[in-house]
Amino acid sequence: MGTTQPIRKEDELYSFRMYYADEKPNVRNYTLIVLGLNTALRIGDLLSLKWSSVYNFQFQSFYDHILIHEQKTGKRNNVLLNATAKDALQAYFNERSPEESEYIFTKTTCHEKPLNRSQAYRIVKTAAVHTTQEDCISCHSLRKTFGYHAWKQGTPPALLMDIYNHSSYRITQHYLGISQDERDEIYLKLDL
């Protein structure tokens, strides 16, 4: 079994993201994938989110940021909700009409407990099997895909290190598979 990989190819990423919007419509699953890709949160942190974390019930609007305490590191993290994430959340909110105290990602039959990691893994893996050529896709791929594409779009390594709470660029390179991509690019460009 290989190491979890990001989804590198943009066409596969698009198909993966849209799998539960187009092929197998399921607004909860779509929102889980969109939120994972656009926030770089670990799956445990995503599954622990409640509607009150993202939505201001008094003013009937989504917050611009999610303030969480990361389960793994114990650190506070202030994560922006971009337009894509808010749109997915809005569609899901409209379908569910949730209470403030409900978890965002729950079983359709029980809104009192969050989805577990196994269920989230099946959601991600099913979309990946039908849309990507990569074998090593898991929930953690959502987080890695965020960083990989941010790096490809020119995000400074120091910023990615900060987002991921890594202590060195070398760790971030390894985490995202950047080292091999950089090496491969040299071989592809060099034509002696």
| Active-site hit among 72, 75, 76, 189 | 72
| Active-site hit among 17, 28, 86, 143 | 143
| Active-site hit among 42, 86, 144, 164 | 42
State how far the Cα of 75 lies from the Cα of 95, in Å rounded to an integer.
33
State how far the Cα of 53 lies from the Cα of 63, in Å rounded to an integer.
8
| Active-site hit among 107, 166, 169, 174 | 166
Q: If you compute the radius of gyration of the chain from its CA atoms, what whole number of angstroms results?
A: 17
Phi–psi pair at 68, nearest 5 degrees: -130, 160
| Active-site hit among 8, 28, 140, 144 | 140
Can 76 be counted among the known catalytic residues? Answer: no
Residues across the chain? 192
> Residues with Cβ < 8 Å from 83, sequence gap 6 or more?
none
Can 72 be counted among the known catalytic residues? Answer: yes
> Residues with Cβ < 8 Å from 72, sequence gap 6 or more?
42, 44
Can 166 be counted among the known catalytic residues? Answer: yes
Can 111 be counted among the known catalytic residues? Answer: no
134 touches 11 (CB < 8 A): no
Q: How far is CA 116 from the centre of its chain?
A: 16
Residues annotated as catalytic are 42, 72, 140, 143, 166, 175
